Chain A
Amino acid sequence: MQSVWQEMSAEIEKQKKITDSIIIKMTKSNYRSRLNNIRIPEMAGAFVCIAAVFFIVLNFQQLNNWYLAACGITCSLILILLPVLSLRSIHNLQAINITDNNYKQSLSDYARGKMQFVFVRKLSFYLGAILLLVTLPVMGKLIGGKDLFVTTHIWMYYVIGYPFFYAFSKWVFKKYTKSTNDAEELLKELEGL
């Protein structure tokens, strides 16, 4: 194993290819632009959510019965919570201190970040589903001027849709289970050392 590695290392040493100009470009470009690439859509999403909250709050008096008011409040709370969770998870992506951490600390931060990420994804999924439920009657009233609970059979759609949503969420979360288990395993191993 060692001899194969050494032969390969010797071969790599013979094939030095990097140039001064490539190194300089790498030091100047684009880690920040990459982070911005993640941030821009998230910030845009956050802006849309906040704008929607303002719209609901400014027109809240139109939600003139208890269930529409409850939907309006729930909708606003979720619209505030979703971007906060999302922006926080981006912040956590940068949480590993590359300069000062040792490998063990970085792995530990990575595993914790991964578990938190999965938790946030699950929470956002459920919040998104609730948001969809409460947005319909709120926007129906504020934009269309109709109480959908009275003029349509919206409750029936909710009842029929629920089993599908339940099955879909089970399927979506299946892939997250392995990530969480791996991260937990890694943390256990690191803490046991």
Chain B
Amino acid sequence: MHSEEQFISVIKENEGLIYKVVKLYTSAKEDEQDLYQEIVYQLWKSFNSFRNESKISTWMYRIALNTSIANLNKAKKRGIQLPISETLLNRPDFTDGSKQEKVDALYAEIRKLDPIEKGIILLHLEGNNYDEIASVTGFTSTNVGTRLGRIKQKIISQIKK
């Protein structure tokens, strides 16, 4: 049995992970708040099912990505939301404007990918190896490797356009 304190510390340690998933699967500010909140809620609901057999981040990616997919169907059926501070979902404040542009451009290119590619590239950029990506996504490690090669090519050609 996990406690509320444990959950709070897990969320605080991994808030960046949730933020990055949210940014990738939404385009409007109000959708960001909605999805962020829903991911935290779903993580809380599933927290007792986490058995420490995998890394906490692997479990969190799984729940966050599944919630994002489930949310695609509900995006237009928004109900009451908990007001989240604007600053919580603000983009990182780069002092160097060119870095900010690069980040925005990278997000824009990844958002153009289909949902399969989007999930795989996110997990790859987050530093997961093929086996870890395979365990979250359900694809085989070989498939993940093949796909990643194609996705990188696709992003590069999108950027060149």
Contact yes or no, A15 B85, CB < 8 A: no
- Among B44, B46, B80, B103, the residue within 8 A (CB) of A4 is B103
Contact yes or no, A190 B116, CB < 8 A: yes
Measured CB to CB, the closest approach of chain B to A72, in angstroms, equals: 34
Interface residues on B, range: 35 or more
Contact yes or no, A104 B137, CB < 8 A: yes
Known: A1-B155, A12-B16, A26-B41. 14 other contacts (CB 8 A): A12-B92, A14-B92, A16-B16, A17-B88, A18-B15, A23-B8, A23-B40, A26-B44, A30-B80, A37-B79, A101-B62, A103-B62, A107-B116, A189-B116
Indicate whether A193 reaches chain B with its CB closer than 8 angstroms.
yes
Contact yes or no, B63 A4, CB < 8 A: no
Name the residue on B nearest A101 (C-beta).
Answer: B66
Known: A2-B125, A17-B88, A36-B79. A93 touches B20 (CB 8 A): no
Chain A contacts to B: CB under 8 angstroms? 1-2, 4-5, 7-9, 11-18, 20, 22-27, 29-31, 33-38, 93-94, 96-99, 101-107, 109-110, 113-114, 117, 186, 189-190, 193
Q: Which 6 A-B pairs have the closest CB atoms?
A: A102-B138, A34-B79, A37-B79, A104-B138, A11-B92, A27-B44
Chain B contacts to A: CB under 8 angstroms? 4, 7-8, 11-12, 15-16, 19-20, 37-38, 40-42, 44-46, 49, 62-63, 65-67, 69-70, 72-74, 77-82, 84-85, 87-88, 90, 92-94, 99, 102-103, 106, 114-116, 119, 125-126, 135-140, 143, 152, 155
